[in-house]
A = this chain, B = another copy of it.
Amino acid sequence: MSQPHESDRLIRGRQALAAIDGEAGEKVISALADIAPDFATYLLEFPFGDIYSRPGLDLRSRETATIAALTAMGTAPAQLKVHIEAGLNVGLSREEIVEIIMQMAVYAGFPAALNGLFVAREAFTAREGNAETST
């Protein structure tokens, strides 16, 4: 991981993660430090340094896609919460996020949408606790 030629992706990934996920992203990275530090590097490099840094799709659309997919899959509520906060960070309104999640009832069933909405409520409440506002 310390090869000098990889640092561009890593630096770009750290910047993208900070811009998109804020503190929540940092927590995931540091949570990996004792168990799988290389995985933290990969997480910065590929999803953030490579994919989220590509110019062909704006971050609002990228978070729309991620919130939709994680709601539909239903197996990663913690990551869904991080990306709902990320959606707010990159300009999605609460209303838009609720619309995305409700729409998943059509593709993944009502329980998936319901569980997604309850995660959204947690994310919105956490944000209020931080005296932040959105929408």
- By a beta-carbon cutoff of 8 Å, the part of chain A in contact with chain B is 3-9, 28, 31-32, 34-36, 38-39, 42-43, 45-47, 50-52, 54, 56-57, 60-62, 64-76, 78-79, 95-96, 98-115, 117-118, 120-121, 124
Cβ contacts under 8 Å, A67 to chain B: 65
Question: Using Cβ atoms and an 8 Å threshold, which residues of chain B touch A121?
Answer: 34-35
Contact call B107/A70, Cβ cutoff below 8 A: yes
User: Which residues from chain B contact A108 at a C-beta distance below 8 Å?
Assistant: 69, 73, 108-109
Residues of B within 8 A of A107 (CB): 66, 69-70, 73, 76, 109-111
State the CA gap A81–B113 with chains docked (Å): 17
Contacts of A74 in B (CB 8 A): 73, 75-76
Q: Which residue from chain B places its CB closest to the CB of A98 in the assembled complex? A: B36
The reply to whether A56 and B109 contact each other, CB–CB distance below 8 Å, is no
Given contacts A66-B68, A75-B111, whether A42 and B96 have CB atoms under 8 Å apart is no
User: Is A99 in contact with B68, judged by CB distance below 8 angstroms?
Assistant: no
* A73: B residues at CB distance < 8 A: 72-75, 107-108, 111
Cβ contacts A to B, 23 pairs, < 8 Å: A5-B7, A5-B8, A32-B114, A34-B121, A36-B117, A39-B105, A42-B105, A43-B110, A47-B106, A51-B103, A54-B99, A56-B95, A56-B96, A57-B95, A57-B103, A65-B67, A65-B68, A65-B100, A73-B108, A75-B112, A106-B109, A107-B109, A107-B111
